[in-house]
A and B are shown apart, each in its own frame.
Chain A
Amino acid sequence: MDVQTLTYLIVGVTFALYIGIAIKTRATSTKEFYVAGGGVPPILNGMATAADWMSAASFISLAGIVSFVGYDGSVYLMGWTGGYVLLALLMVPYLRKFGKFTVPDFIGDRYYSQTARTVAVVCAIFISFTYIAGQMRGVGVVFSRFLEVEVDTGVYIGMCVVFFYAVLGGMKGITYTQVAQYCVMIFAFMVPAIFLSVMMTGHVFPQLGFGAELLDASGNSSGVYLLDKLDGLSTELGFAEYTQGSKSMIDVFFICGALMFGTAGLPHVIVRFFTVPSVKASRSSAGWTLLFIAIMYTTIPALAAFSRVNMIESINGTDGKGIPHEQAPNWVNSWEKTGLIQWDDKNGDGKMQYSKGEANEMKIDRDIIVLATPEMANLPAWVIALMAAGGLAAALSTSAGLLLVISTSVSHDLLKKNLMPHISDKKELIFARLAAAAGIVMAGYFGINPPGFVAAVVAIAFGLAASSLFPAITMGIFSKRMNKEGAISGMLAGLLFTTVYIAYFKFINPSANTSDNWLFGISPEGIGMLGMVINFVVAAAVCRVTAATPQSVVDMVESIRFPKGSGEAQDH
């Protein structure tokens, strides 16, 4: 069978599986729709959360980014895993004990204020929308590359599938579908990585191959460490040393922080921990989540290094003099057809040359690093088909999780808790489904007509989460004194500072977006961490000069600080 047929087959089978699971586990009450009935075992919830967390960008692009920027890519690796330590230690157990459905629920109740709830709802919806537009685009891109349909058609197919299982299944359907999606995704990612590791270093675990000596052509150890080789190649070609990177230390520090604190403030991640049966289960579930994420995130940098060496040597040759184009490996030819690799024979010698600066003849898209690994490792066609299914699983699982936050925010936080407090459970469920459907249509629209600012707004999503939701939630748990005036003014100050800073450099005056103009040398990607500090400071200052928190709220804070008496997540 050829690659095309195999891809249709494998993708078709996985889609049938997801839909089958969704029908079997469909939600019948708001509680099942919002928090899967509160009975998901911690390990399964860990897998589902990991699938929810790892998006099309993690699956397809992250290894490529790390591969091209080396050490600088560490901010994503540490930032997107380190946030889970904060979640586990500072938030998850307490929010689980609190036992309601959403993040705005907590902020609204803890700060006894509709205004606080509304600010939180707006943040939650905005963050989720910025994220989901990129996911739908990812679905379209995977479809177009592997199945050779139009990107738009790919988006429509993706919309239909997500529509089916998110609207029908709610959190319950999504959770069990995501467990299946995690398995597909991790298998698809690990198989080529392991083969590449064995081929280049003889180690089965990519994490060990990463620090091992390269094998020479006859399969014996060459005595040169992979990373030393890579440092040498990078400097020879005019790039910064692979293990050094080129960003300033303060910028790396702040970007890493913004990603960590942002992760811990993302509503679609936090809400996952409302689905487990107890406080104890929520703690271990956070650990399982990070374990399942770490399997992929410790493989990513290894894969990045293997592919980089492989790629450079396939193009420049082992002697660095360039390989004649007609002798190029198959993957170079096949990806040239898609335009992701371009060769421009500037000096007319018929050989390919990759380097920094003028002499460079190759234009290589970063996504190649993951997409072409099966071919680099000479793996059979079914592995390539599996990559397509893995990329789709990553994009669909994240989209579904985000859609749920959007629909919950609308039906529960806006309608039930604000505008229509007396609607019945049944009606609320209908509204939740309608909101999810509307969310899919909007996400699909952005997927087909991608706004040019998608990449830029992801920085805003993390910045907003770090500078608004994270401080409000942690202060709500760890300070009894913090009152509504403090929390609201803190959130607004953090939000305002972060949004204005990012908007200025990304939209209003993009030409000024250089390190000389940045405040303390912090790029817009990292400014959320400073926004968070501002939030804490403003909140503490305002809180000192305003009225104390009411006794009922102090009692509530005391009661969420220990696990005993936690029921299942509930409405009231």
Chain B
Amino acid sequence: MSFESEDTAKKYWNENIKLVVSLLTVWALVSFGCGILFVDALNEIQFMGFKLGFWFAQQGAIYVFLILIFVYVKKANALDKKYGVDE
């Protein structure tokens, strides 16, 4: 066991889960949400030359996916350091 106690191991895992769940919420929101479920409502809004819903489905969602992964990389690495379980 690399943690000081079982308690810190639990804390580490809970923080990790919280991070993953919050990022995946955004993931679902931009793709299934903006790109599919709310697409008609968002299409009423003009964004540059795009209807906003269409932009999310064919461009925006992909940009957000990219940001999500890099945010995760940064935060997960910081979390490892905080608990001293980095490589």
Contacts and interface: CB of A to CB of B under 8 A. Distances in A.
Interface of A: 66, 71, 73-74, 77-78, 81-82, 84-86, 88-90, 93, 207, 210-213, 225-228, 243-244, 249, 252-253, 256-257, 260, 278-280, 283-284, 286-287, 290-291, 294, 297-298, 301, 558, 561-566
A82 B30 CA distance: 10
Nearest to A80: B62
Contacts of A298: 59, 62-63
A208 to B, nearest CB: 8
Given A78-B35, A207-B59, A563 B87 contact: yes
Interface string B13-24: 100100010011
A252 B80 CA distance: 38
29 contacts: A71-B54, A74-B58, A81-B62, A81-B65, A82-B31, A82-B61, A85-B68, A88-B72, A88-B73, A89-B68, A89-B72, A90-B20, A211-B49, A226-B49, A227-B49, A256-B31, A256-B32, A256-B35, A260-B31, A280-B77, A283-B73, A283-B77, A290-B66, A291-B66, A294-B63, A298-B59, A563-B85, A564-B84, A565-B2
Nearest to A70: B54
B23 A78 contact: no
A82 B87 contact: no
A94 to B, nearest CB: 10
Contacts of A226: 49
Given A82-B61, A286-B69, A290-B66, 7 more contacts: A85-B24, A88-B73, A89-B20, A212-B49, A278-B87, A283-B76, A558-B1
A84 B68 CA distance: 10
B57 to A, nearest CB: 4
Interface in B1-58: 1-3, 9, 12-13, 16, 20, 23-24, 27, 31-32, 35-37, 39, 43, 47-51, 54-55, 57-58
A564 B43 contact: no
A211 B48 contact: yes
B48 A212 contact: yes
Interface string B73-84: 100110010011
Given A243-B43, A564-B87, A85 B69 contact: yes
B2 A564 contact: yes
B65 A225 contact: no
A84 B65 contact: yes
Contacts of A283: 72-73, 76-77
Given A243-B43, A565-B2, A84 B35 contact: no
B58 A301 contact: yes
Contacts of A244: 43
Contacts of A561: 13, 16
Q: For B24, B37, B55, B65, which residue has the most chain A Cβ atoms within 10 angstroms?
A: B65
Contacts of A564: 2, 80, 84-87
Contact of A225 (B3, B49, B68): B49
Given A225-B49, A563-B87, A287 B69 contact: yes
A406 to B, nearest CB: 29
A273 to B, nearest CB: 13
Contacts of B63: 294, 298
A530 to B, nearest CB: 15
Contacts of A211: 47-50, 55
Contacts of A291: 66
Given A212-B48, A283-B77, A74 B65 contact: no
Contacts of A213: 49
Given A249-B36, A280-B87, A298-B59, A287 B80 contact: no
A244 B54 CA distance: 8
Nearest to B69: A287
B48 to A, nearest CB: 4
A262 to B, nearest CB: 14
A473 to B, nearest CB: 15
Contacts of A86: 24, 27
B7 to A, nearest CB: 14
A443 to B, nearest CB: 31
B80 A562 contact: yes
A89 B49 contact: no
Given A85-B69, A565-B2, A243 B54 contact: yes
B48 A562 contact: no
A244 B66 CA distance: 25
A78 B33 CA distance: 12
